[in-house]
Chains A and B, each alone.
Chain A
Amino acid sequence: MIGVLARLAQDTGDGILVPAEPIQAGVTQIATPEIQWVALLPHLILVVGGILLLTIASLFRHRVPRWAYTIYTVAVAAGAIIAALPLWVRVQDAERGPFSAIAGALGVDGFSIFITVIICAGVILTALLADGYLKREGIDGPELFVLLLLAASGGTIMASANDLIVLFLGLEILSISVYVMAAMHARRFTSLEAGMKYFILGAFSSAFFLYGIALVYGASGSTNMIRINQYLASPTGVVLSENGLLLGGFALLLVGFGFKVAAVPFHAWAPDVYQGAPTPVTAFMASAVKAGGFAAMLRVFVLTFGTFSGDWQPVVFALAVLSLLVGSVLAIVQTNVKRMLAYSSIAHAGFILVGVEVATEQGTAAALFYLAAYTFMVVGSFAVITVVGRKGDGHHELSDYRGLARRQPVLAFVFTILLLAQAGVPFTAGFFAKFYVISAAVDAENYSLAIIAMVSAVIAAFLYLRIMISMYMSTDSEAVTGEPDRVPVPLAAGIALFVACVVTVVIGFVPGPITDLANDAVPFLVQVG
Chain B
Amino acid sequence: MEELVWLIPTLPLAGFLLLVAFGRRMGEPAAGWLASAMMAGSFAATVVVFAGLFNEPESHRIFTQSLFTWIAVDGFEVSVGLLADPLSITMALFVTGVGALIHLYSIGYMHGDKDFSKFFIYMNLFAFSMLVLVLADNLLLTFVGWEGVGTCSYLLISFWFTDEQNAVAGKKAFVTNRLGDVGFMLGTFVLWTTIGSINYLDIDAAVSAELIAGVTATAIALLFFIAATGKSAQIPLFVWLPDAMAGPTPVSALIHAATMVAAGVFLLVRMSPVLHEAAWANDVIAWVGVITAFVAATIAVAQNDIKKVLAFSTISQLGYMFLAIGTGAYAAAMFHMVTHAFFKALLFLGAGSVIHGMDDRQDMRVMGGLSKFMPLTTITFLVGWLAIAGVPPFSGFWSKDEILASAWAFDSGGAALWVIGLVTALITAFYMSRQVIMVFYGRPHWRDETARTPAPASLSAAAENPGGDGEAELDVDGLARLPADYQPHESPWQMTVPLVFLSLLAVVGGVLNLPFLEELALLENWLEPVTLPHEAGSGAELWALASAATAIALIGIGSATVIYQRRRVSRELVERRLFSKGWYVDIFYSWFTGHPGRRFFDAIRWFDEKVIDGAANGVAGLVRRSGTALRSLQTGYVRNYALGVAFGTVLLLVYFITRIQV
Judging by beta carbons under 8 Å apart, are B659 and A311 in contact? yes
Judging by beta carbons under 8 Å apart, are A255 and B661 in contact? no
Q: Which of A1, A204, A247 contacts B650 (CB 8 A)?
A: A1
Considering residues A204, A244, A251, A511, which has the most beta carbons from chain B within 10 angstroms of its beta carbon? A251
Residue A430 interfacial (CB < 8 Å)? no
Residue A272 interfacial (CB < 8 Å)? yes
Q: Which residues of A contact B645 (CB under 8 A)?
A: 201, 204-205, 208, 255, 259, 265-266, 268
Q: Which residues of A contact B590 (CB under 8 A)?
A: none
Judging by beta carbons under 8 Å apart, are B649 and A242 in contact? no
What are the interface flags for A152-176 relative to B under an 8 Å C-beta threshold, 1 for contact and 0 otherwise? 0000000000000000000000000
What are the interface flags for A432-443 relative to B under an 8 Å C-beta threshold, 1 for contact and 0 otherwise? 100110011001
In the bound complex, CA of A4 to CA of B649 (Å): 14
A361 → chain B closest CB, angstroms: 10
What are the interface flags for B566-597 relative to A under an 8 Å C-beta threshold, 1 for contact and 0 otherwise? 00000000000000000000000000000000
Judging by beta carbons under 8 Å apart, are B659 and A197 in contact? no
Q: Which residue of A lies closest to B661 (CB)?
A: A243
B39 → chain A closest CB, angstroms: 24
A390 → chain B closest CB, angstroms: 24
Judging by beta carbons under 8 Å apart, are A258 and B648 in contact? yes
6 residue pairs of the A-B complex, CB under 8 angstroms, read A242-B660, A251-B649, A251-B652, A251-B655, A443-B74, A510-B70
In the bound complex, CA of A435 to CA of B74 (Å): 12
Residue B607 interfacial (CB < 8 Å)? no
In the bound complex, CA of A242 to CA of B656 (Å): 13
Q: Which residues of A contact B112 (CB under 8 A)?
A: none
Closest 5 A/B residue pairs (Cβ) = A512-B69, A333-B627, A247-B656, A265-B648, A268-B641
Residue B653 interfacial (CB < 8 Å)? yes
Q: Which of A243, A268, A459, A515 contacts B623 (CB 8 A)?
A: A459
Judging by beta carbons under 8 Å apart, are A330 and B652 in contact? no
B binding-site residues for A, Cβ under 8 Å = 68-74, 79-80, 619-620, 623-624, 626-628, 630-631, 633-634, 636, 638, 640-642, 644-645, 647-653, 655-657, 659-662
Q: Which residues of A contact B70 (CB under 8 A)?
A: 510-512
Q: Which residue of B lies closest to A198 (CB)?
A: B638
Judging by beta carbons under 8 Å apart, are B644 and A197 in contact? no
What are the interface flags for A326-364 relative to B under an 8 Å C-beta threshold, 1 for contact and 0 otherwise? 100110110000000000000000000000000000100
Supposing A200-B638, A201-B642, A443-B74 touch, asked if A512 and B79 sit within 8 A by C-beta, the answer is yes
Query: In chain A between 486 and 529, which residues have their CB closer than 8 angstroms to a CB of chain B?
Result: 510-513, 515-516, 519
Q: Which residue of A lies closest to B651 (CB)?
A: A265
Q: Which residue of B lies closest to A329 (CB)?
A: B627
In the bound complex, CA of A264 to CA of B289 (Å): 62
Q: Which residue of A lies closest to B70 (CB)?
A: A512
B182 → chain A closest CB, angstroms: 19
B248 → chain A closest CB, angstroms: 29
A63 → chain B closest CB, angstroms: 41
A binding-site residues for B, Cβ under 8 Å = 1, 4, 196-197, 200-201, 204-205, 208, 240-244, 247-248, 250-252, 254-255, 258-259, 265-266, 268-269, 271-272, 311, 314-315, 326, 329-330, 332-333, 362, 432, 435-436, 439-440, 443, 459, 462, 510-513, 515-516, 519
Q: Which residues of B contact A197 (CB under 8 A)?
A: 638, 641
Q: Which residues of A contact B660 (CB under 8 A)?
A: 242-244, 247
In the bound complex, CA of A191 to CA of B653 (Å): 34
Starting from the known contacts A201-B642, A440-B74, 14 additional A-B residue pairs (CB-CB under 8 Å) come to A197-B638, A200-B642, A201-B641, A204-B642, A241-B661, A244-B657, A250-B656, A265-B651, A268-B634, A329-B623, A330-B634, A332-B627, A512-B80, A513-B68
Considering residues B68, B74, B641, B656, which has the most beta carbons from chain A within 10 angstroms of its beta carbon? B656
Judging by beta carbons under 8 Å apart, are B74 and A314 in contact? no
Q: Which residues of B contact A255 (CB under 8 A)?
A: 645, 648-649, 652
Considering residues B69, B660, B662, which has the most beta carbons from chain A within 10 angstroms of its beta carbon? B660
Q: Which residues of B contact A266 (CB under 8 A)?
A: 644-645, 648
Judging by beta carbons under 8 Å apart, are B644 and A512 in contact? no
Q: Which residues of B contact A258 (CB under 8 A)?
A: 648
Q: Which residue of A lies closest to B650 (CB)?
A: A1
Q: Which residues of B contact A459 (CB under 8 A)?
A: 619, 623
B645 → chain A closest CB, angstroms: 5
Q: Which residue of A lies closest to B649 (CB)?
A: A255
Judging by beta carbons under 8 Å apart, are A333 and B68 in contact? no
B11 → chain A closest CB, angstroms: 19
A125 → chain B closest CB, angstroms: 25
Judging by beta carbons under 8 Å apart, are B620 and A462 in contact? yes
Q: Which residues of B contact A259 (CB under 8 A)?
A: 645
Q: Which of B633, B638, B661 contacts A242 (CB 8 A)?
A: B661
In the bound complex, CA of A362 to CA of B73 (Å): 9
A369 → chain B closest CB, angstroms: 10
In the bound complex, CA of A514 to CA of B25 (Å): 36
A275 → chain B closest CB, angstroms: 10
In the bound complex, CA of A268 to CA of B645 (Å): 8
Judging by beta carbons under 8 Å apart, are B636 and A272 in contact? yes
Judging by beta carbons under 8 Å apart, are B74 and A269 in contact? no
Judging by beta carbons under 8 Å apart, are B657 and A4 in contact? yes
Judging by beta carbons under 8 Å apart, are A251 and B656 in contact? yes
In the bound complex, CA of A511 to CA of B79 (Å): 11
Judging by beta carbons under 8 Å apart, are A201 and B638 in contact? yes
Q: Which residues of B contact A511 (CB under 8 A)?
A: 70-72
Q: Which residue of A lies closest to B653 (CB)?
A: A251
In the bound complex, CA of A271 to CA of B634 (Å): 9
Q: Which residues of B contact A515 (CB under 8 A)?
A: 69, 72
Q: Which residue of A lies closest to B642 (CB)?
A: A204
Q: Which residues of A contact B619 (CB under 8 A)?
A: 459
B378 → chain A closest CB, angstroms: 48
